[in-house]
Amino acid sequence: MRLFDTHAHLDFPFLRDQIEDVLARAKEKGVEKIVTIGASRGLQSNIDAIAIAEEFENVWCSIGLHPHDAGKCDMEVYEEIEKRFSKHEKVVAIGETGLDYFYDHAPKEEQKFYFRKYLQLSKTLDKPIIIHARDADEDTITILKEEGVRKGILHCFTGSKWMAEELFKPELDFYLSFSGIVTFKNAKDLLDIACGVPIDRILVETDSPYLAPTPHRGKKNEPAFVYHTAAAIAAGKGMDLDTFSNHAYENAHRVFGLEL
């Protein structure tokens, strides 16, 4: 079985400090490739993510700015990210960026401003955008349509059925990535949405070190655990785990432009 963890934060100390072991445990569980997200601690997170991707052959990275930080980062950071990292050979995506109205750590207008900036960057570079959206279904879809972006991933999808269907319509043609939340007992509706996503548009991720799936819920998460997320969706679809994982694996290669 081959798995691709499309979204991990390997630069966070819990994972970074034991990275060799983390990657070895992932490999044991069939996780052959990982994209680490360099967007969650401003500029330094991007620097660290690139360093990890340079060090390990089977790790790639994305660059950007998390919506939580949109109020703290000025244009200088954006320009630095664009200038220093966007052409790097291991950068396969832009993000995570987007809108988070649940935590509301940054003013909505700032979030929207930087969301648009990174969408435009992804278009200029022709790299997929990785979107973080929480309690912001309508604004996210509206902005995506206004910016005319047709290449990307809605990560850790927790939106409505309406949002899911908008995303995989040909007008947007997005990929939807599901995290360990689909394994939680109280997330039956989300699992149903995941099972309704076309098989050529679905991805799996850990979002580690957060959101450990059942049976590790409440503990720190790591890429090896993406296995449980794939197993939950495969079972929900009545599909053999190997077959499902292969589809998700191939989808990840297609969206990131990587060779199989």
In the structure encoding, which two tokens stand for residue 101, read together? Answer: 């109205």
Q: Interface with Zn ion by CB under 5 A: which range of 48-56, 127-135, 138-146, 197-205?
A: 127-135
* Beta carbon of residue 207, minimum distance to Zn ion (angstroms, whole number): 5
Binding to Zn ion by residue 68, rule CB under 5 A?
no
Using CB under 5 A, which of 132, 201, 228, 247 touches Zn ion? 132
* Beta carbon of residue 100, minimum distance to Zn ion (angstroms, whole number): 8
* Beta carbon of residue 193, minimum distance to Zn ion (angstroms, whole number): 17
Which among 189, 183, 199 has a CA at the least distance from the CA of 159?
Answer: 189
Q: Interface with Zn ion by CB under 5 A: which range of 20-28, 126-134, 142-150, 187-195?
A: 126-134
Which among 51, 42, 50, 40 has a CA at the least distance from the CA of 12?
Answer: 40
* Beta carbon of residue 235, minimum distance to Zn ion (angstroms, whole number): 25
Q: Interface with Zn ion by CB under 5 A: which range of 47-55, 131-139, 189-197, 241-249?
A: 131-139
If the CB atoms of residues 110 and 246 are measured against Zn ion, the closer one turns out to be 110
Which among 248, 120, 96 has a CA at the least distance from the CA of 182?
Answer: 248
Pattern 87-116, binding to Zn ion, x per CB under 5 A?
---------x--------------------
If the CB atoms of residues 136 and 193 are measured against Zn ion, the closer one turns out to be 136
Binding to Zn ion by residue 117, rule CB under 5 A?
no
Size, binding site for Zn ion by CB under 5 A: 3
If the CB atoms of residues 202 and 259 are measured against Zn ion, the closer one turns out to be 202
Residue in the shown chain whose Cβ atom is closest to Zn ion: 132
Please list, residue by residue across 171-197, b when 16 or more beta carbons sit within 10 angstroms of its beta carbon and e when fewer do. ebebbbbbbbbbbbeebeebbebbbeb
- Footprint of Zn ion on residues 197-226 (CB under 5 A)? 207
* Beta carbon of residue 132, minimum distance to Zn ion (angstroms, whole number): 3
What residue ranges bind Zn ion (CB under 5 A)? 96, 132, 207
